[in-house]
Chains A and B, each alone.
Chain A
């Protein structure tokens, strides 16, 4: 049953992505930026998916500390890994756009820096997990770190914002003009990426469960 759900959602994600890419490629080039502007249809939804992942990781981490149920630990690590992948996609697409429009791959602008700091924070989370062998300790410490990281994110974003800003203002809430049908496609692409993220998380979650089962079997074998 669970496999069917994963396959079903995966197929849906692929179909939706194919439809969106078709629509996006049929849009005319943007007036000022030309073709490269279309990267925004992936750049922004990837960032949103990553942010959602971080929020779910926080909730799962708190739930783990409260209940000590390893289900939540597995969820936390699964969404963190997937979120990190989406954040990487966000950084890379942003970098490609920057190369074309700004002429440089990277600049220490506020948003870029914050995104990089967030990426490093959550990469640290995964590194921390790797360094701890004992499952309960690993889950507890990782949960504590996740809480610290999540609390740090808004402070990082605000403080870096005070430094300097070169990133284009958000097209949605910053007063920019974005055609209505483009917004709708953007929304659909967000849904597609969220679906994709969900599928990846579910697969990752199953790996974690299998891993835990293996560990417990191994421990049982040692006890005998």
Chain B
């Protein structure tokens, strides 16, 4: 019980700190808008084509914009040696990690949920057709991204070139989750509900989440304490 309270305290603390400044979320959303704008030059956004690649486009936007949030997660604690204080606090590394992951999850999810309608408007995609299934895919894939992002945010917080290293390390690891999310999102955007082949992708996505959440929880103590 105490464990979950600790998770909650860390998560709420992170959310509160972020919501007071809104620096990561604002930057992330602005970045998402910029990428959405750039896509319009990369291809001629005709309706049919856009729907076919909508999943891929969206998840590229989410992965790029999400990294900005994830980069801040542990870097925020560097000032005033907050990270050392957090590590020496009577909270297990796993609780600290889960709390931060939850906070990141909420923030990245928020950026995604705001970018989604903007994407729909800009590219004339009717994304609400399978809204609940789309939301489930968003939740599962975003959790996968945030778990990987949070553990690697802890790993890269003290090293040189932090901002460059994080995306370089996490994107190759995220490949399976991103692929599943892209496939499923493209189908759902076209109005096809999940079924047949796409069930396997959904399972893969869930499996990815389970595997990497477990491994991160096991290894986080090593990363934080050494």
Binding site for B on A (CB under 8 A): 65, 117, 120-121, 124, 127-128, 131-133, 136-137, 140-141, 144-145, 147-149, 151-152, 155-156, 158-160, 162-163
Are A149 and B173 in contact (CB-based, < 8 A)? yes
How many A-B pairs with Cβ below 8 Å?
78
For the complex with contacts A144-B219, A155-B208, 13 further pairs of A-B residues with Cβ separation under 8 Å are A133-B160, A137-B158, A140-B226, A141-B155, A144-B155, A145-B155, A147-B219, A148-B212, A148-B215, A148-B219, A152-B172, A155-B211, A162-B204
Q: Which residues of B sit under 8 angstroms from A162, Cβ to Cβ?
A: 197, 200-201, 204
**Chain B: CB-nearest residue to A132:** B159
Q: Which residues of A sit under 8 angstroms from B208, Cβ to Cβ?
A: 155
Chain B stretch 192-222: residues in CB contact (< 8 A) with chain A: 197, 200-201, 204, 207-208, 211-212, 215, 219, 222
Q: Which residues of A sit under 8 angstroms from B212, Cβ to Cβ?
A: 148, 151
Are A124 and B172 in contact (CB-based, < 8 A)? yes
Are A163 and B179 in contact (CB-based, < 8 A)? yes
Are B180 and A147 in contact (CB-based, < 8 A)? no
- Within the complex, the shortest CB–CB distance from A12 to chain B, in Å, comes to 36
Complex Cα–Cα for A162 and B207 (A): 15
Q: Which residues of A sit under 8 angstroms from B211, Cβ to Cβ?
A: 151, 155
Interface SS of A by simple majority = helix
Are B175 and A117 in contact (CB-based, < 8 A)? yes
Are A156 and B165 in contact (CB-based, < 8 A)? no
Chain B stretch 160-178: residues in CB contact (< 8 A) with chain A: 160-161, 165, 168-169, 172-173, 175-176
Complex Cα–Cα for A140 and B224 (A): 10
B19 within 8 A of A: no
Q: Which residues of A sit under 8 angstroms from B173, Cβ to Cβ?
A: 121, 148-149, 152
Complex Cα–Cα for A127 and B171 (A): 14
Are A120 and B204 in contact (CB-based, < 8 A)? no
Residue from the list A136, A147, A159 in contact with B226, Cβ < 8 A: A136
Complex Cα–Cα for A193 and B13 (A): 54
Are A156 and B175 in contact (CB-based, < 8 A)? yes
Complex Cα–Cα for A163 and B160 (A): 36
- Within the complex, the shortest CB–CB distance from A161 to chain B, in Å, comes to 11
Complex Cα–Cα for A141 and B220 (A): 10
**Chain A: CB-nearest residue to B178:** A159
Chain B stretch 135-155: residues in CB contact (< 8 A) with chain A: 151, 155
Q: Which residues of B sit under 8 angstroms from A159, Cβ to Cβ?
A: 175-176, 179-180, 204
Given the interface pairs A124-B168, A127-B168, A128-B169, the reply to whether A141 lies near B223 with Cβ below 8 Å is yes
Q: Which residues of A sit under 8 angstroms from B172, Cβ to Cβ?
A: 117, 120-121, 124, 152
Are A131 and B222 in contact (CB-based, < 8 A)? no
- Within the complex, the shortest CB–CB distance from B25 to chain A, in Å, comes to 27
**Chain B: CB-nearest residue to A120:** B172
Give 9 closest A-B pairs by Cβ, nearest first.
A159-B176, A120-B172, A131-B159, A155-B176, A121-B172, A131-B160, A124-B169, A132-B159, A152-B173
- Within the complex, the shortest CB–CB distance from B195 to chain A, in Å, comes to 16
Contact sample, A vs B, 21 pairs, CB 8 Å cutoff: A124-B169, A128-B155, A128-B159, A131-B165, A136-B226, A140-B222, A140-B223, A140-B226, A141-B155, A144-B219, A147-B219, A151-B212, A151-B215, A155-B204, A155-B207, A156-B176, A159-B175, A160-B176, A160-B179, A162-B200, A163-B179
